[in-house]
Structure 1
Amino acid sequence: MRRTLSGPARHQASAQETLIVINRYPGSCGKCRRRVEAGAGQAVNTGGRWSSYHHECAPVRTAPPRGNHRGWHDLPVVGFDIEGTDRQPMDSRIVSAALVYADGTTSNWLIDPGVPIPPDSTAVHGITDEMVRSAGQPPRKALAELGTAISKVIADGTPLVVFCAHYDVTALHTELARHGLPPVEWDRAAIIDPSILHGEVEPRWYDSRQLGDLCRYYQVDLATAHDAESDARAAVDMAVSIAARHERIARTHPDALHQAQVGWYAQQKRNLQEFFDRQGRNETVSLEWPLETKRRR
C-alpha cells in the first residue's frame, strides 16, 4: 500500500507501505539515475529504505484492489454538485447545479445569481456574467426547483453523494433562506461524502485531496473538472470505488454511514486545525458536517 506525504508530515515507514516527502537532500534519481537537486523532487521510503526521484519519475500510487463484497454501492444513489461565487459557502451564490441519477439521467441548472461573478471564481468553473445573464434562470425559480428535487431524493430514502458536502449543503441551505424558500430537511438525509471516506480509509494521506487527483487514484473518469454534472458523476463513481475497495465502508448502512462521517469529518478537521496552528496560520476550521451553522474565518 502506498501513501504520500508532503510538507512537514513525518511517519516511520513499515515494511508494507511507501511514503513520500519532498526531498531535502540532493541525490541520484532511482529511475533515470540523473541528479535530483534538493527540494526539486521526491524522497520515497519503501520498507525503510529512501530513494530520490524526479517528480515525473516517481512511482505511481495505486488504490487497493476491488473486492467481491456486496453493499450500498450496488444500490441506486444520486450525485449532487454546485458551482458558486465564493469559497465561503455562506457567502456563495450558486451559479450552476446538477443532480445525477442512478438511471443515467441528469437535472442541470444554470442560475443568474443577480450579483457579479468574481473573476477568480470564473477562472475555476468557467461561468461568466454574460453566460448567466443570457441563459441563466432567475435564482428564486431555479433554487426552488433544486430544493424540491433534493427533498424528493431524501424523501425517497436514496443516498445523496456529495464531494465536500459541507460546502454544497451549506451554500444551498443559505441560498434557500436568502430567497425565502423552504429549507431542505438535511437531518433526514443519508449523505455519502467520498472526501471523508477517503480520509477515513487513507488516514496518512498527505498529498492533494482535490477531486481530480483523487479520481486518478481511484481510477474514476472526471470528464470536465468544476462542471457541476461532471463533478457530481465523478463523486458517485468515487464513492462506489471506495466502497468496492473497502468492505467495512460498503457494508455500513447509508444512515449509519452518514452518522459515522459526522465524527470522521470532525476528527479530520481537528487534525487540519492542529496543522494550521503549528504553522501559525490564522485560520479556523469548522467541525460541522454536513451543514455549517457558523461562519468560518
Structure 2
Amino acid sequence: MADNSIASKAWYAGPLMGFDTETTGVVPREDRIVQAAVTTAEEDRTWLIDPGVSIDPAAVAIHGITDEKVRTEGTASPEALAEIADSLRKAVDERIPVVVYNAPFDLTLLHYELERHGIPPVDFANLLVVDPLVLDKQMDRYRKGKRKLGMVASHYGVRLSDAHAALADAKCSVELARIIGERFADLADLSPEDLCERQRDWYRKDKERFEAWLRSQGREAQIDTRWPLAL
C-alpha cells in the first residue's frame, strides 16, 4: 500500500507556505513593511500596512503603494505584524517549509519590525526556509542574466501576473520552488532540514565567490554571507 503521509512526500510535493513583503525601502534594519502576504493551499492572506513613516519614492515606483494609500486603507503595523508572526509561528510548529525569494531581505526586515514594535519574535532558527533564488543559483550557476524574480520565473515558465504585489510574488515563489525541486534530482531527496543547511552553505559560498571576484577587479567589497537572516 502506498504511503500517502506528508512525511513520505518530497519537500516540494508537500505543503508549502509562501511569504513576501513590499517595503518602504531596501535597508532591512531601517525600512518598514507596507504590504505582506502569506499563501498556503488552504488560504491567501494579504496585509496593507501603515508603517507610520514615509515610503521612499523609489520604492513607490516599484510597487505602487503610496503614503496616502497606506494611511487611508492600511492596518497599523503592530496589529498586522502580530498576525504575520502568528502565521510563521504556525509554520514552525507544523514543520511547514516557508518559501521566501531572497529570504535574507524579507526575513531580516521582519525580524527588525517585530523587535521595533515589541512583538515576540518568530523562532527563525527553527523556520524551514526554501529560497528559490538560492536554489536556482546553485543548480544553474553559470546561466547568464539577472536573477530577479520575474526573470527567473520566466526562465522556468512560471507566470507572474502582478509583479511587486506581495501575494503574486509569494505565489510565484512557491510555484518556482516546486518546479526547481522537481527538476533537479540533487534536491529531490533532501529533507526540509537538510535543504536548509545546504542553502545556508550555498548562499555563503556564492557570496564569497562574488566578493572574491569584486576584489579581483580592484574593488573593495565586504558582502554579508548570512542566510536566511542577516542580523
Q: TM-score, normalised by structure 2?
A: 0.93
Q: Percent identity?
A: 38
The answer to whether residue 157 in structure 2 is matched with residue 219 in structure 1 is yes
Matches of 1:82 and 1:220 in 2, distance apart? Answer: 19
What SS does the corresponding residue of 1:175 show, helix, strand or coil?
Answer: helix
Compute the displacement of 1:283 (Å): 4.3
Structure index of larger Rg:
1
| 1:171 equivalent in structure 2 | 109
> CA–CA distance in 1 between the matches of 2:120 and 2:218?
41
Change (3 A) 1:83 1:259: same
Q: What is the total number of aligned residue pairs between the two structures? A: 223
Query: Tell me, which stretches of 5 or more residues in structure 2 are unaligned?
Result: 1-8
CA drift of 1:206 comes to 3.3
Matches within 5 A, 1:128-207: 128-207=66-145
Q: Which residue of 1 aligns with 2:22?
A: 83
Deviations 1:19-38 (A, max 9, x none): xxxxxxxxxxxxxxxxxxxx
- Which residue does the alignment assign to 2:34? 95
Say whether residues 1:239 and 2:177 are aligned partners: yes
Query: For 1:55-74, what aligned pairs fall within 5 Å after superposition?
Result: 71-74=10-13
Q: Deviations over 1:200-225 (max 9, x none)?
A: 10121231100000001111111111
Are residue 261 (structure 1) and residue 202 (structure 2) matched?
Answer: no
Which one has the bigger helix percentage? 2
Q: Once the 2 structures are TM-superposed, how far is the Cα of residue 250 of structure 1 from its aligned partner? A: 1.8
Q: Secondary structure in 1 aligned to 2:75?
A: coil
Q: What SS is found at the alignment partner of 1:257?
A: helix
Of the candidates 55, 59, 62, which is equivalent to residue 117 of structure 1?
Answer: 55
Helix, strand or coil: the match of 1:83?
A: strand
Residue 244 (structure 1) shift: 1.2
1:210 maps to 2:148: yes
Aligned to 1:267, the other structure's residue is in SS state helix
